[in-house]
Structure 1
Amino acid sequence: MTSLPLCLPDSLTPEQFLAEYWQKKPLLIKQGLPQLIDMFEPEDMLGLALEEDASARLLTQAASKQNGQPQWQLKKSPLTEADFANLPEQWTVLVQNLEQWSPELGQLWQAFDFIPQWQRDDIMVSYAPKGGSVGKHYDDYDVFLAQGYGQRRWQLGKFCDKDTEFVADEPIRLFDDMGEIIFDEILEAGDVLYVPPKLSHFGVAQDDCLTFSFGCRRPNLMQIIDSMADIATNDSDLFVPMLLPQALQASGELQTDSIDAIKTQLLQMLQSERGDHIIRQAVSEVVSKRQYDALMPEETLDTDELMKALAEGATLQADYSNRLLYSKTSDGFVLYANGQRIDGLDETAMAVLIRLANGEKLYSADVKEIDSDDLSEWLENGWVWIDFAE
């Protein structure tokens, strides 16, 4: 159960969105995320971009002295105040992984609970003064572009592919031709625009504006294969040489029949119970890994302070800067956190962590059967976040 309404038009069910729009076509959701209005101001994000541990980029655009064409420059974090001195008229600063810096912002992921949380990437903010943009581009993932402050004009064009030509010698992937413009609207604070993968888009700040990108991403096959190899190294049976049929052949030839026989045994293993286990664990580890290194909290609650806060009405919630998920097997549930399988949990603890992973707010009565030291460890690990009662 979520505490926020879903970020969808009243006339559209989650089932309809997934069937008709997800990875197919864009959708404008007027006032889809009003909770974001006035949550942050530009100065907040500019200050955050200067933090030593922030993952930030400063993108500037100025006319080239040689031909007058726009020339982009990119500076990655760490950024300093000197980087923001003498900027050209058009510039943008981007900050990734905002959930780490604002658990309150991270909780807005609940408005997108129609998308499995293991597909969430991170929340990025884009600040730009009037005229600022990051150029015409496309992303390989789904994104919900939520306006938090000011206005931004968005244009959407054609779907791109691997043959799309980018402008040469630029620090970011940009192109000139968006094809036919199918969408041209100005988003106000609280509005949300869903953009499917590979759809070209171009956003230009109409005034000082903050746009928050809620990105969704799936693993690629190379990540899964790499993880499977790591897991398989712990299975001694897989190190036993294969038994293969042998036909008479030239001594220097590796025949197609031999390759096919090896492929057949490999596929048989992947389709077996052993293969199911390897694939399940590989996928679970990959999708539960955090993309960015964890920030160490400046202050932590000790066990007594935690229990006192819960007794006074504070709630425990999943910390969306971390990755907490579970999968169901023939033996029950298995929990993963930040790329690691968590073993040794009793049924009560597992049930509570599953509820947290599903986005529930839990009160003192919900966790009364959990040892207080375990709760403190969950908090210290970053699996949960405590929301103090007002």
Structure 2
Amino acid sequence: MNKLTLLGNITPQRFLREYWHKKPLLIRQAIPGFKPLLTREQLAELATHDDVESRLISHFGAHWEMRSGPFTELPPWEKKGWTMLVQGVNLHHDAADALMQQFRFIPDARLDDLMISYATDTGGVGPHFDSYDVFLLQAHGQRRWRISAQKDLSLIEGMPLKILKNFHVEQEFILEPGDMLYLPPHFAHDGIAVGECMTYSVGFRAPSYQEIGESFLQFMADSIELPGRYADPDLSPSRHPAELGNAMLEHVAGEISKIRFTRDDITIFLGEYLSEPKPNVFFESPTRSLSLKRFAQAAARQGVSLSRKTRMLYRGKYVFINGESFTVKREDKAPLTILANERRLEGKLVSTVSSDVLETLCTWHEDGWLKLGQE
């Protein structure tokens, strides 16, 4: 069991047993000597893109304001009290993606994205709580974190942000570059910039059961088969024309109760649901299209790797990628499992895959889901 500096030199097993979903963990120098991966100007440029989710939050005087990007103009860098939040930076930047990979001791099905928060002096988003686990890595400057395990999570009404009405500070820390704070879901916290600062937030997916249930019903709509049509050959004259009759209710209820779903249905649904990219994610096809033969030759030399934006999962005989699923043969399972876990497949292994898998890899390359080598 390897210890991770990232977790304060404790093992992932101990972290998950003692802290995950349970209590905060302050890790001094989780990444010693950490430097920002992007400058503030590069982050601001990213926030001008349509396919990047960004927000601008200001607290000037007693007034809170939030705007959604893309942004063509920001407040002056020297003006206090504002914050720029840029989501999914790992989808657009190699080094940010590499940082995310360090958190894969948590399953990919739960790992969400890397958000970068840039704040000028006194900037923040107010005392709040998240519905998911989060690691807060200080990248530049200092941020003062105040946290609380309070059960009162009521919010101030009429605000553009979800700000806690009654925030009671229990602990306080100042984080320096390389320091990291883990917080479990629903743990109240407030981060305030001490001078200009950047904080990297690694968040996790925690969909509500309501959202999962609604999505599952939509998924099942494509596979439901209820043959026949409603009929009532034994209908009696109606004494109350506007009343729904018992016979009709029971007949329809009986037909609907024939709908069944299996563990395979749940597996396929969950794999497609959790690998589905967010709506603002777009893939870019390669500038030059390759024939299957040319692709096979290049892949055998260079290997292949998943695009930063690709989400790939598997379970048993099923493979899921970017919201799609397919069944794999036993001999094809090993290389695709390696590709999903390592996010790369060496050329010598590409040379061993079946013609079906090779054709699939070629299609993924054409769609921008897969890259040759490290292109």
TM-score (norm 2): 0.81
Distance 1:34 1:347, change over 3 A: farther
2:318 maps to a residue whose letter is: V
Alignment partner for residue 110 of structure 1, among 96, 101, 109? 101
Letter in 1 for 2:323: G
- Tell me the residue number matched to 1:22: 20
**Identity of paired residues, percent?**
30
Q: Counterpart in 1 of 2:110?
A: 119
One of 123, 139, 161 as aligned partner of 1:148: 139
Cα distance in 2 for residues equivalent to 1:384 and 1:33 = 30
Aligned-residue offset at 1:80:
1.0
Q: Are 2:44 and 1:46 equivalent residues in the alignment?
A: yes
Secondary structure in 1 matching 2:13: helix
Kindly indicate whether the alpha-carbon contact (under 8 Å) linking 2:46 and 2:52 is maintained by their aligned counterparts in 1. yes
C-alpha contact 2:305 2:374 (8 A) present in aligned 1: no
Q: Deviations over 1:305-344 (max 9, x none)?
A: 8955873xx564443422210112xxxx10111222135x
Is the contact between residue 92 and residue 308 of structure 2 (CA under 8 Å) also seen in structure 1? Answer: no
Q: State how far apart, in whole Å, the 2-side matches of 1:166 and 1:220 are.
A: 20
Contact 1:98-1:124 at 8 Å conserved across structures: yes
Q: Deviations over 1:92-116 (max 9, x none)?
A: 0011111221133113222112211
Q: 2:276 aligns with which of 289, 295, 298?
A: 289
**Does 2:212 match 1:229?**
no
| C-alpha spacing 1:299/1:36, structure 2 compared with 1 (3 Å) | farther
In the TM superposition, residue 360 of structure 1 has moved relative to its aligned partner by 5.0
Gaps of 5+ in 2: 231-239
Q: Look up the SS of the partner of 2:22 in the other structure.
A: coil
Q: Which residue is 1:67 aligned to?
A: none
Say how many residue pairs are matched.
355
Distance change (3 Å), C-alpha of 1:33 and 1:373: farther
State the SS of the aligned residue for 1:154: strand
SS at match of 1:202: strand
Q: 1:366 aligns with which of 349, 364, 372?
A: 349
Distance in structure 2 (CA, Å) of the matches to 1:375 and 1:36: 36
Instruction: Provide closer, same or farther for how the CA distance between residues 310 and 109 of structure 1 changes in structure 2, counting only shifts above 3 A.
Output: farther
The reply on whether 1:379 has 2:370 as its aligned counterpart is: no
Give the whole-Å Cα distance in 1 for the aligned partners of 2:335 and 2:98: 18
Deviation per CA, 1:253-286: give whole Å up to 9, x if none: 999xx99xx69x95x966xxx4323222222222
Give the alignment partner of residue 80 of structure 1, picking from 59, 69, 72: 72
RCO higher in 1 or 2 (8 Å CA, sep ≥ 6)? 1
Deviation of 1:42 after TM superposition, in Å, equals 1.7
The answer to whether residue 170 in structure 2 is matched with residue 171 in structure 1 is no
- Mind listing any 5+ residue stretches in structure 1 that lack a counterpart? 64-69, 243-250
Contact 2:4–2:11 at 8 Å: present in 1 too?
Answer: no
Cα distance in 1 for partners of 2:33, 2:267 equals 36
Please give the alpha-carbon distance, in whole angstroms, between the structure 1 residues aligned to 2:366 and 2:5. Answer: 30
Distance verdict in 2 for CA 1:384–1:308, change over 3 Å = closer
Distance (whole Å) between structure 1 residues aligned to residue 22 and residue 212 of structure 2: 25
In structure 2, how many angstroms separate the alpha carbons of the residues matched to 1:288 and 1:221?
Answer: 17
Deviation (angstroms), 1:134: 1.0
Deviates further, 279-288 or 315-324: 315-324
Q: 1:196 aligns with which of 184, 200, 225?
A: 184
* Superposition deviation, residue 348 in structure 1: 5.1
Distance in 2, Cα, partners of 1:28 & 1:319: 32
- Pick from 136, 149, 164: which aligns with 1:158? 149
Of 11, 14, 33, the match for 1:13: 11
Structure 1 CA distance for aligned equivalents of residues 286 and 34 of structure 2:
26
Distance 1:382-1:121 versus aligned 2 partners, 3 A rule: farther
- Provide the TM-score with structure 1 as the length reference: 0.78
Give the CA deviation at 1:7.
2.9
Shift of 1:206: 1.8
**Is the Cα–Cα contact under 8 Å of residues 286 and 366 in structure 2 kept in the other structure?**
no
- Superposition pairs for residues 217-366 of structure 1, below 5 Å? 217-238=205-226, 274-297=261-284, 300=287, 302-303=289-290, 308=298, 311=301, 316-328=304-316, 333-343=317-327, 345-347=328-330, 349-366=332-349
Contact kept in structure 2, 1:144 and 1:193, CA below 8 Å:
yes
- Give the match's secondary structure for 1:16: helix
